[in-house]
Amino acid sequence: DAGITQSPRHKVTETGTPVTLRCHQTENHRYMYWYRQDPGHGLRLIHYSYGVKDTDKGEVSDGYSVSRSKTEDFLLTLESATSSQTSVYFCAIRDLGRGLNTEAFFGQGTRLTVV
Amino acid sequence: GIQVEQSPPDLILQEGANSTLRCNFSDSVNNLQWFHQNPWGQLINLFYIPSGTKQNGRLSATTVATERYSLLYISSSQTTDSGVYFCAVGGATGTYKYIFGTGTRLKVLA
């Protein structure tokens, strides 16, 4: 299994509070992704990173920010959580050094509930 | 951006039946994967198949990149095949994005 760890695995937070989710990899893969999964929508891309300090927006980036200060960690921050951000969040990684033509591996997911 | 459509959205089978799941995409791709999300929410890699045909046991997949579709075949289905099947694609235009379809929910009855 690919070495991907998401933390926390479950979190309940109050509306308006900041929340940071962490994705940690031990594979030295260049590309990292954050997705959210909601019923009826499949997985939607929030933000992604193609290297240290190199990030870009996905389909549903409003209300989220990311940071990648080192290869192994990709942080997703909800600056002020809202109930619409209640979801399951998945992190994914893709291989290093093979350009774009590589498969992605997923973490176990983080279930976030905003009350 | 690339649009990814999967069909059918839902599928119910008796154990032992065969099925074909389809993934259509709207632009050229360099990457295509099939995943199975089990009832516990884990995403399991099935195939990395930007083109051609691959087989793994009872599962096989074919991607015809020039016609912008991929098929996932499940033969002799088992109850453990239940879950949601996703395809995900990455574009050929230099983007690093990896876009998912909305999935096919499969239920296999004993």
Strands (E), chain B: 4-7, 10-14, 19-25, 29-37, 43-48, 52-56, 59-64, 69-74, 83-91, 98-100, 104-109
Q: B28 — contact with chain A (CB < 8 Å)?
A: no
Written as six digits, the tokens of B44 are 């399991």
pLDDT digits (tens, 9 = 90+) for A32-57: 999 999 987 789 999 999 899 999 99
Q: Which amino acid is at B41?
A: G
* Residue B32, domain extent: 4-109
| pLDDT level of residue B96 (50, 70, 90 thresholds) | confident
The CATH number that applies at residue B101 is: 2.60.40.10
- Please determine, for residue B92, whether its predicted confidence score (pLDDT) is greater than 90: no
Q: Chain B partners of A40 at a C-beta cutoff of 8 Å?
A: 102
How far is Cα A8 from Cα A10, in angstroms, rounded to an integer? 5
Nearest by CB to A103, from B1, B48, B99: name it: B48
Query: What angle is formed at CA A42 by the lines to CA B37 and CA A115, rounded to 5 degrees?
Result: 100
Please tell me the total count of domains within chain B.
Answer: 1
The Cα-based distances of A14 to A6, A11, A82, B50 in angstroms read 21, 10, 8, 42
Nearest by CB to B99, from A45, A100, A106: name it: A45
Q: What is the pLDDT of residue A109?
A: 96
Q: Which amino acid is at A103?
A: E
Q: Is the peptide bond before B8 cis (omega within 30 degrees of 0)?
A: yes
Domain ranges of chain A: 4-114
**Assigned CATH class of A4-114:** mainly beta
